[in-house]
Structures are given as structure tokens and as C-alpha cells.
Amino acid sequence: ILNVEQSPQSLHVQEGDSTNFTCSFPSSNFYALHWYRWETAKSPEALFVMTLNGDEKKKGQISATLNTKEGYSYLYIKGSQPEDSATYLCASPNTGNQFYFGTGTSLTVIP
């Protein structure tokens, strides 16, 4: 079992604020890091798959970085909008492609 942790557990930001949160994972035997967004009453939706140390990925106003040596990834949202409100999950697979998920960061963007 891989211990994947996310922080903070929840946060509330004002519309237009930028925010970031963290996913920590074991740096040994690292294969990949997946980020998902899970809106209420919808399916979790894939955001990014990251594999290389120093990787940086971007989708619109959301970006993510990866540090495999120290075992963390940051997710950044620039200029948060109410529609960014969701739970953000990260997952790290083992060699058998079994995903281990963090508990998620619940983001609420206040209009």
C-alpha cells in the first residue's frame, strides 16, 4: 500500500484568488502521478498524468508540477472561478497499476 497524502483537506477562496495545494507520495518506486477533479454529482475527471521529475503541465488556468525526488506535486489554480469548486484528487500507481488515492482537497470558490 502506498501512502498518498493531500493537504489542505479543504479550503475556501474568493473568486479571482489564486490557490495551490499539495500531494505527497513515496519517492521510492515512483511510476506516475495522476490528478483528478471531482465535482459534486459528477464523475471524477482526469486532469493530468505526470511522470518525469520537474514535469509541469497546464490546462487553462490549472497547472501542476512534480518533484519525484522529494515526493510531492503541487496543483495551482490561477484566478479561481466558482466553477473550479470541486474536490481535487491525486493518485500514485504501484507497479501493478493499482492506484492509491489521497483523501482529496475540497476547494470552494466564493463568488
Partner 1 sequence: DVKVTQSSRYLVKRTGEKVFLECVQDMDHENMFWYRQDPGLGLRLIYFSYDVKMKEKGDIPEGYSVSREKKERFSLILESASTNQTSMYLCASSLAGGGTQETQYFGPGTRLLVL
CB 25 within 8 A of CB 66: no
List residues binding partner 1 (CB under 8 A). Answer: 1, 4, 31-32, 34, 36, 41-46, 49, 51, 89, 91, 93-95, 97-104
Q: Among candidates 7, 28, 1, which has minimal Cα distance to 90?
A: 7
CB of 49 to partner 1, least distance (A): 5
CB of 5 to partner 1, least distance (A): 9
Q: 7 vs 18, which CB is nearer to partner 1?
A: 7
Spatial strand order in the sheet of 56-59: 5-7, 19-24, 72-77, 62-67, 56-59
Note the residue count of the chain: 111
CB of 29 to partner 1, least distance (A): 11
Q: 10 vs 18, which CB is nearer to partner 1?
A: 10
